[in-house]
Amino acid sequence: MWKSRVFSLAVVLACLFGFSCKVGLGEAVDTVPPTVTITYPPAGAVVRDAFVLAGDCDDDTGVSSVDIYYERTGTYATEKAMLATVNVGAGEKRWSLTINPNEQDVKDGPYVFYAVAKDTQGRTSGTYTQSFEVDNTAPVMILTKPTSFGSDNPKAYGRSISIEGTYAEATENRIDKLVVTFYNEDGTKVTGLSANDTTFNDITDMSNANPLIIAKLDTSGSADPLVQQRDNIYRKLYGTNDFTQGAKDFYFTVTA
């Protein structure tokens, strides 16, 4: 019995004083799921034509793939559906997918895109979402007021100039940007007005009940940016602060 104890003690001491002792724990267990993000397009963007959907991914054992899902939201909402699986190379921490709306049935409208990563052990990440719009169709616009270019009886306005009409636009029937370009009677552009000065954003209605005011004289000294914009256009069109000099003829084009 005593010899056996000495031998056991010798083994313990050998481990304590620097000799190699192996302990078997089996294969490493993957307990951490991968991570994934969508970094492009940015949230709220409007994309046109073929575009790249891209993001980051990471995992301690390596990411093998990223599954992409999508759904159209808003008026013409669709159910969430699988779009594609992106294979990720060994050691890679970026993923990307080129989307061609014509080939992959991504119609105009607002969308939510989803990304889910899978690591080499089969574990999956949480779902990352990004919302943006796809718009490849120009709006169709019909103006009912004022009358068309070259008319012998142009629409007469006082101290407020507005346009009325109807339009069709696939992205929630909203015009993101409308640019008005003004011309003098001789066809030359009105000076002092840049495209930025005469750009109106987020148009949702320009009907007879709610015409879009594009120029309006303001004498109140309002600090409202839209009121100031319209007042600046009106004064540049008239060319003077003496508004008793009678009527002046102008033409303008509208680009949506």
Spell out the per-residue pLDDT of the chain, length 256, in tens.
Answer: 444 443 343 434 333 444 444 444 445 566 789 999 999 999 999 898 999 999 999 999 999 999 999 999 987 889 999 999 999 999 999 999 999 998 888 988 899 999 999 999 999 999 999 999 998 887 777 887 886 555 566 677 778 888 888 876 656 667 878 898 988 888 888 888 888 889 988 888 888 888 899 889 888 989 999 999 999 998 888 876 766 666 777 888 888 7
Task: Please report, to the nearest 10 degrees, the dihedral formed by the alpha carbons of residues 100, 103, 112, 167 taken in order.
Answer: 90
Q: Computed over its alpha carbons, how large is the radius of gyration of the chain?
A: 33
Write out the DSSP string of 11-42.
HHHHHHTT--------SPP--S--EE---BSP
Q: Is 10 exposed, middle or buried (0-12, 13-18, 19+ CB in 10 A)?
A: exposed
Angstrom distance (rounded) from CA 198 to CA 209: 22
Q: Looking at the whole model, is its pTM more than 0.75?
A: no
Note the pLDDT of residue 14.
38
Query: Which CB contacts under 8 angstroms, 24+ apart, belong to 177-181?
Result: 177/201, 177/256, 178/203, 178/212, 178/254, 178/255, 178/256, 179/254, 179/255, 179/256, 180/214, 180/252, 180/253, 180/254, 181/252, 181/253, 181/255
Angstrom distance (rounded) from CA 61 to CA 235: 67
Coil/strand/helix, residue 159: coil
Strand partners, 171: none
Write down the residue that tokens 């636009």 correspond to. Answer: 169
